Structure 1
Amino acid sequence: MGPSEHMQEYSADQGFPAASEKHDSTDNILDNNIDDIPIHTTEKKVDVEQSSLKLDDDNDENSPIPEVAAIVSNKDDPSLPVMTFRYYVMAIVFSLVLSFFNQFFWFRSHPMTISTLVIQLLSYPIGRFLAAVLPHGRLNPGPFSIKEHVLVALTANCAGGTAYAVDITVIQKVFYHEDFGFLANFLLILCTQMLGYGMAGVLRRYLVYPAAMIWPANLVQVALFNTLHKEEDLRPGQWSRFKFFLVATFGMFCYAWIPGFLFPVLSSIAWICWIKPSNLVLSQLTGADGLGIGAISLDWNNIVSFLGSPLIIPWWAQVNIGLGFFLIAWVLVPIAYYTNLWDAKRFPILTPALFRVDGSPYNTTMIMTHNVLDEEKYKAYGPLRISTFFALSYGFGFAGLASMVSHTWLYHRKKLVAQWKQSREHSEDVHHKLMQAYPEVPDWWYLGLFVVMTAIAVATCEIWDYKLPWWGVLLAVAISAFFSLPVGLIQAITNQQPGLNIITEYVIGYILPGRPIANVTFKTLGYISMAQAMTFTSDLKLGHYMKIPPRAMFWAQLLGTVIAGLTNLLTANWLLRSQPGICTKASKEFRCPSANTFFSASVIWGVIAPNRMFGPTSIYNAINYFFLIGFILPFPFYFLKKRFLNCSWLEYVHIPVLLAATGMMPPAQAYHYTNWLALGFLFQFVARRYHPDWHLRFTYILSAAFDSGTAFMVLLSFFIFTLREKEMKPWWGARSDLCPLEGESFYPVGSHTD
C-alpha cells in the first residue's frame, strides 16, 4: 500500500489511523493523534469548551475521569424523542448529500472532504425549523432535542466517508480492464464496511461501558452539541455562531470562483520557479510539482485537499508535522536525490508513478496474464523501480508503525494497564448506570451481522474472480478481529489507532504473490474491518455519553452505512461512465490522485510482491531497517524527558506524528504542507494566543464554513461548466505549465486511455 493511496488512510500507511469512514473535525489523519501526549494537553483541549458548559451540581455522582466529568452531563431525560420523523428526514437527506459530495470530490485532481461538523451545524437550525412548522403530534413530538441532533450527526458520520472498497472497483475498471458488475462491487463494499460493526458489538463491553475507556475525540463532539443546544448569551451587535457560519460560507463561495475557475494560477504560485522555469533544479526545488520551496496557494480547496483543515489541529501537532516535513522533504530527500540514491536522477523527484530501470514508464500489462503476474513476461520486461521519495515514504511508513509500538509502550503502558484493570473492576460509572434505562442491543444482532457479512465476503470472492480464496477471506477477517481489542484499548485511551495496512499487505503479498486484486481485497477486509470497528465503537461511546438508546444507535449506524455504500458506488460509476479519461492525465478535473497511488501500491505489493520489492535481492532492501529505526527513536526522547523535567518542550515531541508528517506525499505536494502550516500558525497559535475569545467561538465554525462554501462552488461549477465541456478562456492566469518539470509523470501506463 502506498503512503497515501487513499485519502482516508494516508496516515494509516504510516501505521496511523485512517478514520476510514469518518470525516468529522476530530477524526482525520492528524486529529487522531492530538491527544497522545501528556494528559494535561488533553485537558487543555477540553478546557476550550468549558466556558460554554455547566456541570449538574445537584448530582453528587460523576465520572471518575476529570475530562469526562468536565464535559459530559451526569443527568438524562429518557423521555426525550430520538428516532422521530424529523430524524429520518434529516438523517437520510444528509447521508445522501454527504456521501455523494465526498465521493464526488474524491475523484477530483484536488480532492476535499466535507466534514460532518457541517452536518452538526446545519442540522440544528433545520431541526428547529421542522419542529416549528410541522403539525404537532407523532410527526412533531415537541422541540428538536439534543438526542435527535446527536443521532442525525452519528448517522451522517457513518455516511460521511468514502467506502474504501470503491478504489478496488476504480482500479479494476481503469487500470486492470475488468468489471465484475454492480452487484459484486456493492456486496464487497457492504461487507467491508459492516464487518467491523459486528466486532463493535463484542467490543462495547470492554471499550464503551467502562468509564476508563474515554475516547478523547468524542469530548469535543459532546462539547459542541452542548454548546449548540445552550442558548447563546449574546451582547448587543454580537453575531451568533450560526449567522457567522452562513456569512463565512457565502463569502468563501464567492471567493472560491477566483482560484477555482477564473484565475487558477492562484492555486499554486511558484514565484521563485518563475524566475527561470527552464532550470530543472530550480523547478525541482521550488516548483509546485517539486519540493515547493516558497510556493504559495490562495485556494482553500488546494490547501486542505490532502491534509484536512489546519484550523482544527492543535499547534503542538502542527509543529511536529512541520519539523517532520522539513527534515524529510527538504533535507533527507534532496540529499538522497542529488546523491543519486537508488538511481534517483533517472526518475522524477516526487511521484508515485512506476518505472523501468531506464526511467521509462512501467507498463504493467506487459508482465501480466489475466491480471496475474506472468514470470516469463516479468523476466523479459525487467524489474520495477519507483522514485526515491516514494521509496523513502514507505520507509517512513515502516518507521511510523514501529514507533507507534514503542511510543505507546513507553508513554502509556502504565496508563493502559491501570485503566484496563479499572475497566474490568469499575464499569458501573454514572453514565453506564443512566444507560440502564434503555434496552440493550441483543448480542445475537451483532453476531448475526458479523456472520452474514463474513459469508457475503466469502461468497463474493468465490463467485467473482477476485483471486482471493475462501481461506484468504477468513484469514483477513481473523487478523482484523484479533487486533480489534488491543487497537481499541490504545485508541480509547490515547486516541491513537495503529494501522494494519502494512501487516495485511505483507502477509498476503508473501502468501499470494502476483495477484494485485487479491492483495487489495485482502488488505481491505483485514484493515478496514478493524478501522470500521473502531469508528463504530467510537460512535457507540458518543451515544453512551449523550444517552442515546442503544437500539436507536444500532439502526442509525446501519442506515448511514448502507446509504453511504450505495451512494458511493453509484457516484463512482456515474463519474467513470460520464468523464472521458477519468483518473488519467487526459482529464483535467478528475485525475484521481488517490486511486492512482492505490493502483501503484497494488502493483508494488500485489503484482511484484514484497519479496521482490523489498527482499534481500532488491535495491530497496535497506528500507526494512526503517522498522528498527522507528522503534528506537522514541527511546532517547522519552529518557531525555525523564532526565530534564523542567524542559517542557520535550513533552510535545511526538515521534510517531513527526514520522507520519509526509505520509500523504505523494500524491500530496510539498506546497500543500507549507501553506497548510502557515494557516495553522495563524489560527492555532496567533488567534488562540492573542484572540482567545474569538478563537473559541468561531475557529471550528469558520473551518466548516470554508469547506461548505468551497464545496458548493465546486459542485455548481461542475454542473454549469464541466458537464457542458466549457472551460475558462485561455490566458496567462489559467495556464498550468508555468513551471513544468520535464519528465514528470504521475499516471501509470496501462489505463484505459493508453
Structure 2
Amino acid sequence: MSEQKYEYVAEKDFVDQKRDIEHPSIVLEEEEENSPIPEVAAIVSNKDDPSIPVLTFRYWLMAIFFSFLLSFFNQFFWFRSNPMTISTLVIQLLSFPIGKFLANVLPPGPLNPGPFNIKEHVLVALTANCAGGTAYAVDIVVIQKIYYGQDFGFLANFLLILCTQMLGYGMAGVLRRYLVYPAAMIWPANLVQVALFNTLHKEEDLQPGQWSRFKFFLVAAFAMFCYQWIPGFLFPVISSIAWICWIKPDNVVLSQLTGAGGLGIGAISLDWNNIVSFLGSPLIVPWWAQVNIALGFFLIAWVMVPIAYYANLWDAKKYPILTAKLFRENGQKYEPSAILSDSVLNETKYDEYGPLRISTFFALTYGVGFAGLSSMITHTWLYHRRKLVSQWKQSRDHTEDIHHKLMQAYPEVPDWWYASLFIIMTAIAIITCEIWDYKLPWWGVLLAIALAAIFALPVGLIQAITNQQPGLNIITEYVIGYILPGYPIANVTFKTLGYISMAQAMTFTSDLKLGHYMKVPPRAMFWAQLLGTVIAGLTNLLTANWLLNSQENICTKANDEFRCPSANTFYSASVIWGVIAPDRMFGPSSMYNAINYFFVIGFILPIPFYYLKKVFPKGWLDFVHIPVLLAATGMMPPAQAYNYTNWLVVGFIFQFFARRYHPDWHLRFTYILSAAFDSGTAFMVLLSFFLFTIRGAKMVKWWGTDMNKCPLEYQPYYAVGS
C-alpha cells in the first residue's frame, strides 16, 4: 500500500534509541569542548585532520563500482516475487578490506596517497547510499509498459527518473542551515553508521581464538549462500510452511486464516529472502519498535480484518481476504482498460462497466494509513513539541558546536550550486511532462514541487529529532486525484514529484549530517551524492528494461520468479486514486466513505496514551508509540502476513534474547550478521538466475517444489460470481 522504511539507531556506549526518541537530550558539561548532545558526544569524534585526502583514485574506483552493483542488485530484486534490499551496511563492510587492499597494491603517488582512510570510506558509503534505493519513477515506467500500453522511450524515462531523484537535492541547500549545522539536529539513524566506521578503523583487540568482525562476516555470508540454495531452489516448500492449512486444504476458512496467501496464522518460513522481503532485516530494529509493530500487526491483521471479513463488511466475502487486486461488484476481475480511452477515464464506459471494488483488507490498510499520518501530527505535538521548539531555537541561535567549528576548515558548497540544481531539475520535470504525454500540465509539476518544498522543513525537523518521517504519498495522491480525476499517469507522476522529492531531500540532508559528523568536505559530498544518484538512475532503468524485455509474462502470476508485488500494488493505487479518483472511491456516495473517519481516529488515538503515561510514568506505556503501531501493516499488501510473523520471531531471537542474555555478542556481531545474511542470499539468487532462470531451467518437480498445497488461500469466501 505504501512505502515504508524503519530506520533505527544501535546501542553502543550511548543512550539507546528509545530514550533518544522519547526524552529530551541533556547538555554535557565537560572541560573539553564536545557536542552538547550526550549520545553524539559519546560516539562522534571531536577532532579532525583536514589534510586527509578524500577524492582519491581509490574512492572513484570503489564508488562507481559499488554504486553500480548496489543499484543493479536492488532493482533486480525489486521485480522478484519475494523482493529484498541490500543495505548500504554491506557496502560499508565490503569496501573496507578492498580499500586496504588497493592501498597495499597500488604504486605510491597520486593513485595511492597513503593508507585507506576513514573519510574515503565514508564517501564511498555515501555515494552507494544514494544508489541504494530503487528509483520510485521506475514504477511509472513499469505500469506504463505492462498495464497502460505506453512507452515514451528511454530518454523520457531517464529524464523523469533523474528529475524526481534529484529535485530534493536542490532543496537540501536551504535545509542544511536548519537540519545539518545545528548540534540540536541529531539524525539518530546516522549514529549506527558512525559507530560502524569507527569500529572498522580502530584496531580490534582480539583475544586468542577470537574472530574479527570481517572474518565473521565472510563465514556467515558463505554459510547463508550455501544454505539459501535449499529454500531458494532445491526445496522451496520450506519458504512458506502453512502446516495448519495442510491439515484440511479444501476448507476455505482454514485456508484464508492460515494459508501463506491469507492471514498466515502459524505459517513458518525458513527462507531468509522471505523474512526480509518487505520489512528489511529484523536484526537491526530495536525490540521496543518490534513490539509496537507486532501489536499493530496482530490488532489489524488478526483481529480487525477477520471480524470485518466474516461480518461481510463492504461485501468482503466476494473477494479474497488479502489482496491488492481490483474487482467488479460481482467479484470478478476489474479491467481498467474497459473504462479507459487513451489511458484516460471514459465516463460513459465507466457508467456501463460499473464501480470499482477492493478487498476489505486493502480498504482498511488505506484507512490505517490515513490514521498513521494524522497520528504522527498529534504524537509529535504531544511528545516532542517542547523539544522541537527548544532545539529549533538552538538551531537558530547556537550553531557553533565543535563539529560545526571543525567543518569551517573546508569550503562550503555555494548556494548557487543548489539553486542551479533545483532550477535545472524543475525545468527538466516541466519539459518532460509537456513534451511527452504524462497528462500532467506545467502547473501540476510546480504544485507537486511546492508541496514537497513546503513540507520538507517540518518533516526534516521531525525526522532529525524523532527518527520518524511522515510520508506525503497519500496526501499527494488525494490532492491530484481531486484536481485531475481520471488521469492515472498524471496521478502517479504528481505523487512521485511531490512525495519522492521530499523523501530525497531528507536522504541528501541525512547524508550531509553523516558527512558533518565524519568531517568530510562538503563539496566532495555534493559531487559524491550526485554521482551515486546518476549511476543509480541509469542502472535502475537499464535493469528494468532488460527484465521487462527478457522475461515472459513478467509481473503476472504466470511468472513465478518475477511477479513484481510492488509494481502491482502501485498499479492498483494508480487506478484507485487516478482512474476512479478519490471522490468516486471514498467520497460521500461511496461505500468506502467511512475510511475517511480514520483521519480523525488517528488524530485522537495518541491523546489517551499520552495522559495515561503521565498518570503511570513507569511501565509498558513508556514503549507505546502509536505512529509506529499504525504503520505496522503499511507494507500489506504487497507483503503477506507470514512475512511479518516470521520477521518478528527472528527479531525476538536477536533483539530481545541475544541482547538481554548475550549482550557482548549482540553488540559485536548482530549488525554484521544481518549484512552477511543479506549478502549471501543476494549472491545465491543472482547466481541461480544466471545459471537456471535465464535459460528456462527449473528444479525437477517433486513434493518439495509443489507450492500449491493450500489452493484456496487466494480464493474468496463466496464462489466468484455467486
TM range (shorter): over 0.9
SS of the residue aligned with 1:89? helix
Q: Which moved more, 1:81-90 or 1:58-67?
A: 58-67
Match of 2:632 in 1: 661
Q: Distance in 1 between matches of 2:145 and 2:211?
A: 50
**Superposition deviation, residue 58 in structure 1:** 11
Q: Structure 2: which amino acid aligns with 1:247?
A: V
**Superposition deviation, residue 648 in structure 1:** 2.2
Q: Distance in 2 between matches of 1:461 and 1:44?
A: 46
Q: Structure 2: which amino acid aligns with 1:666?
A: P
Of 335, 352, 361, the match for 1:380: 352
Match of 1:346 in 2: 318
Q: What TM-score does the superposition give when structure 1 sets the normalisation length?
A: 0.92
**Superposition deviation, residue 608 in structure 1:** 0.1
Match of 1:540 in 2: 512
Of 570, 589, 592, the match for 2:561: 589
Q: Distance in 1 between matches of 2:250 and 2:90?
A: 44
SS of the residue aligned with 2:243? coil
SS of the residue aligned with 2:149? coil
**Superposition deviation, residue 498 in structure 1:** 1.0
Of 714, 737, 750, the match for 2:685: 714
Of 493, 496, 507, the match for 2:465: 493
User: In 1, are the aligned partners of 2:156 and 2:432 still within 8 Å (CA)?
Assistant: yes
**Superposition deviation, residue 41 in structure 1:** 4.1
Q: Distance in 1 between matches of 2:59 and 2:30?
A: 31
Q: Distance in 2 between matches of 1:589 and 1:366?
A: 29
Match of 2:720 in 1: none
Q: Structure 2: which amino acid aligns with 1:701?
A: I
1:461 aligns with 2:437: no
Match of 1:670 in 2: 641
User: In 2, are the aligned partners of 1:30 and 1:317 still within 8 Å (CA)?
Assistant: no
Match of 1:649 in 2: 620
**Superposition deviation, residue 744 in structure 1:** 3.9
User: In 2, are the aligned partners of 1:59 and 1:74 still within 8 Å (CA)?
Assistant: no
Match of 2:175 in 1: 203
SS of the residue aligned with 1:272? helix
Match of 2:279 in 1: 307
1:229 aligns with 2:236: no
1:509 aligns with 2:481: yes
User: In 1, are the aligned partners of 2:237 and 2:705 still within 8 Å (CA)?
Assistant: yes
Match of 2:24 in 1: none
1:573 aligns with 2:573: no
Match of 1:96 in 2: 68
Q: Distance in 1 between matches of 2:713 and 2:615?
A: 51
Match of 1:274 in 2: 246
Pairing of 1:310-321 with structure 2 (within 5 A): 310-321=282-293
Q: Structure 2: which amino acid aligns with 1:695?
A: H
**Superposition deviation, residue 173 in structure 1:** 0.1
Q: Distance in 1 between matches of 2:500 and 2:330?
A: 37
Q: State the aligned residue count.
A: 707
User: In 2, are the aligned partners of 1:98 and 1:156 still within 8 Å (CA)?
Assistant: yes
Q: Distance in 2 between matches of 1:413 and 1:385?
A: 41
Of 19, 25, 30, the match for 2:6: 30
1:86 aligns with 2:58: yes
1:157 aligns with 2:129: yes
SS of the residue aligned with 1:609? helix
**Superposition deviation, residue 686 in structure 1:** 0.4
Q: Distance in 2 between matches of 1:268 and 1:742?
A: 13
Q: Distance in 1 between matches of 2:189 and 2:97?
A: 24
Q: Deviations over 1:299-324 (max 9, x none)?
A: 00011001110001000010111111
Of 687, 694, 698, the match for 2:665: 694
Q: Structure 1: which amino acid aligns with 2:341?
A: T
SS of the residue aligned with 2:330? coil
Match of 2:230 in 1: 258
Unaligned runs of 5+ in 2: 22-28, 717-722
Cα pair distance change 1:128/1:385, threshold 3 Å:
same
Q: Distance in 1 between matches of 2:83 and 2:713?
A: 25
**Superposition deviation, residue 42 in structure 1:** 2.6
Q: Distance in 1 between matches of 2:552 and 2:18?
A: 51
Match of 1:736 in 2: 707
Match of 2:26 in 1: none
Match of 2:674 in 1: 703
Q: Structure 1: which amino acid aligns with 2:587?
A: G
1:337 aligns with 2:309: yes
Cα pair distance change 1:45/1:262, threshold 3 Å:
farther
Q: Distance in 2 between matches of 1:443 and 1:623?
A: 44
Pairing of 1:356-367 with structure 2 (within 5 A): 356-367=328-339
Match of 1:16 in 2: none
Match of 1:42 in 2: 17
SS of the residue aligned with 1:437? coil
User: In 2, are the aligned partners of 1:583 and 1:590 still within 8 Å (CA)?
Assistant: yes
Q: Deviations over 1:517-554 (max 9, x none)?
A: 00000000001000000000000000000000000001
Match of 2:85 in 1: 113
User: In 2, are the aligned partners of 1:348 and 1:387 still within 8 Å (CA)?
Assistant: yes
**Superposition deviation, residue 31 in structure 1:** 2.2
Q: Deviations over 1:202-244 (max 9, x none)?
A: 1101110111111111111111100100000000000000000
Q: Distance in 2 between matches of 1:741 and 1:423?
A: 58
CA RMSD for the aligned pairs? 1.5
SS of the residue aligned with 2:408? helix
Match of 2:25 in 1: none
Pairing of 1:237-248 with structure 2 (within 5 A): 237-248=209-220
**Superposition deviation, residue 674 in structure 1:** 0.7
Q: Distance in 1 between matches of 2:255 and 2:428?
A: 50
Q: Distance in 1 between matches of 2:625 and 2:171?
A: 30
SS of the residue aligned with 1:31? coil
Cα pair distance change 1:744/1:91, threshold 3 Å:
farther
User: In 2, are the aligned partners of 1:351 and 1:744 still within 8 Å (CA)?
Assistant: no
Q: Distance in 2 between matches of 1:341 and 1:58?
A: 62
Cα pair distance change 1:59/1:82, threshold 3 Å:
farther
Q: Distance in 1 between matches of 2:693 and 2:707?
A: 17
User: In 1, are the aligned partners of 2:15 and 2:39 still within 8 Å (CA)?
Assistant: no
Q: Distance in 2 between matches of 1:252 and 1:439?
A: 45
Q: Distance in 2 between matches of 1:315 and 1:607?
A: 41
Match of 1:171 in 2: 143
1:609 aligns with 2:578: no
Q: Distance in 2 between matches of 1:236 and 1:741?
A: 57
Of 560, 564, 576, the match for 2:532: 560
Q: Distance in 2 between matches of 1:45 and 1:700?
A: 20
Q: Distance in 2 between matches of 1:409 and 1:536?
A: 25
Q: Distance in 1 between matches of 2:486 and 2:446?
A: 20
User: In 2, are the aligned partners of 1:43 and 1:67 still within 8 Å (CA)?
Assistant: no
Unaligned runs of 5+ in 1: 12-28, 47-56, 746-754
Cα pair distance change 1:59/1:130, threshold 3 Å:
farther
Q: Distance in 2 between matches of 1:376 and 1:591?
A: 33
Cα pair distance change 1:147/1:610, threshold 3 Å:
same
User: In 2, are the aligned partners of 1:438 and 1:550 still within 8 Å (CA)?
Assistant: yes
User: In 2, are the aligned partners of 1:253 and 1:712 still within 8 Å (CA)?
Assistant: yes
SS of the residue aligned with 1:220? helix
User: In 1, are the aligned partners of 2:255 and 2:713 still within 8 Å (CA)?
Assistant: no
Q: Distance in 2 between matches of 1:457 and 1:205?
A: 26
Q: Distance in 1 between matches of 2:292 and 2:565?
A: 26
1:136 aligns with 2:108: yes
Match of 1:627 in 2: 599
**Superposition deviation, residue 742 in structure 1:** 6.3
User: In 1, are the aligned partners of 2:256 and 2:714 still within 8 Å (CA)?
Assistant: no
Cα pair distance change 1:345/1:364, threshold 3 Å:
same
SS of the residue aligned with 1:462? helix
User: In 1, are the aligned partners of 2:127 and 2:528 still within 8 Å (CA)?
Assistant: yes
SS of the residue aligned with 2:498? helix
User: In 2, are the aligned partners of 1:71 and 1:219 still within 8 Å (CA)?
Assistant: yes
Q: Distance in 2 between matches of 1:200 and 1:398?
A: 27
